[in-house]
Amino acid sequence: MSPEPTGSWVNLLELPEEQISEMLRSGGLAVAVFGLGSVGLAVATVWLRAGARVVGVDVDVRKVEAIRSGRISHPEEVVVRTLSESLRSGKLRVTTDGAEAVRSTHVADVIVPLVYVPGGPDFTPLDRAIEVIGRNMRRGYVVIVETSLPPLTTETRVRPALERLSGLRADEDFALIYSPERVLVGRAVEDIELRYPKIVSGVGPRSLKVGEALYSNIAKAGVLKVSSPRVAEFTKLAEGVYRDVNIALANELARLARALGVDFTEVISVANTQPYSHLHRPGAGVGGHCIPVYPKLLSWVAQLLGVHLELVEHARSINESQPLEIVHLLVEELGKLGYFPTSGVKVSILGLAYRGGVPIATNSPTYMIAENLLRLGYQVAIHDPLIETDSYLNSAGVRLSRDLREVLLGSVAAVVVTDHRDYSELTPCDLVELSGGKLVVVVDARDIMRDGPCCGVVYVGIGRGRKCEGMRKQGQSVGTRG
């Protein structure tokens, strides 16, 4: 016999909002969180902090065993602390058995990954979670989907599957809510609880009522009720596409600024004093789970409807090519000083993480930069203060280390890709010293390094041209700080 949810079973669609809230706050509500990645662990944390009991579900046996044994890896201390305490108290348990998790809870919150593969999005993880939920939920159950989805997915894929598998009707027998996560990894709990209003939609008014009752106890910035799941789905992707398009604009304008000899950083600071100007900063490319994927999801559904998103697709192509711009700039500057790929020179890359302060490398532009430098014949070593190993780099024979001196020693060039705080404390002269006096070129793709002496290197900022002209050619070396 399946274990019962905490407290007696209730039909949440039939309860007044005040009673749903009280159930959550008092610990009478049990939530199954499907997907225990970085965001899923933060979501589980938020439910626990709101008062719920949580069953975490993931198909990765090693991940579940690690969490169960207290080995919780997450960039947020509040997540690690809350999950550890909840495991000890019994408020949290983790499992690979999704069916049992559904049977022993009142709510399923789905935050499994959705990736884009050639031809379209891969719905496999979502479909598997929905199948388990649909086969095991009962009347009065609540299904929440937080995964970022192409518009229409909740209505045309999730709802029919749940109704077919359960024999129940959405918004009459069970609640179906779409409420996209809106977080930045590294501060996800704060984003959910304090920073952003929670977007909530339902497939009907009863589902929407349940969603509002639950999230009004979590999101201190309020609940934004929208008219349909497709509006919520579209909104989440549009937020990411806005950033992608504006980053592409910054990257393109930065190329022109360099050709003109104009400091694009100065342009940004002046232009953005105009209230309708929000120029972004250029960089080495766009990484992470979200921004590189959302434009593709939106373009995919647009094509199904006969719409061509030209600007969105062109912006994505600019950002995808930005790592090659960095490689071109580096090779050009090295060539001027007599360093060519055939000499087997060593180039160091500072940063593997896709964003500063997080130990996550998904879709990082560093991969493309390293791959193309290797193809050209350079030796490549990569430093990241937060990432210790990487299977792809291991297979490519690229050294990854958390020891900056080890990475830079013997390098003739360094490329700063990630805006880690560690790099903001460095000057070009520091890199020369760590390289053993070999360094001649620094490409700072994040314009993050501290101003200071250059020790004879060419220091190039994206959109800023040469900030230090450099004075050495191949075969010459200098003291670092004399």
DSSP element (H, E) containing 346: strand 346-350
Torsion sign, CA atoms 60, 66, 72, 74: negative
Q: Which value, to the nearest 10 degrees, does the dihedral of the CA atoms of residues 394, 397, 401, 406 take?
A: 160
- Residue 75's nearest CA partner among 383, 359, 385 is 359
Whole-angstrom Cα distance, residue 369 to residue 328? 10
Give the Cα-Cα-Cα angle 200, 204, 206 (nearest 5 degrees): 85
The order of strands in the sheet holding 92-95 is 92-95, 53-57, 30-34, 107-110, 142-145, 175-178, 198-202, 223-225
408: CB partners within 8 A, 6+ apart: 348, 381, 383, 414, 431, 434, 435, 439
Identified catalytic residue from 63, 91, 209, 236:
236
Phi-psi label, residue 344: left if phi above 0, alpha if psi -120 to 50, beta otherwise: left
Indicate the burial class of 262 (C-beta count within 10 angstroms; 0-12, 13-18, 19 or more).
middle
Identified catalytic residue from 91, 198, 290, 296:
290
Percentages of the chain per state (helix, strand, coil), in multiples of 5: 45, 15, 40
Whole-angstrom Cα distance, residue 32 to residue 48? 11
Q: In the annotation, is 290 catalytic? A: yes
Is 91 in contact with 61 (CB distance < 8 Å)?
no
Is 460 in contact with 447 (CB distance < 8 Å)?
no
Whole-angstrom Cα distance, residue 365 to residue 380? 14
Q: In the annotation, is 91 catalytic? A: no
Residues identified as active-site? 236, 290
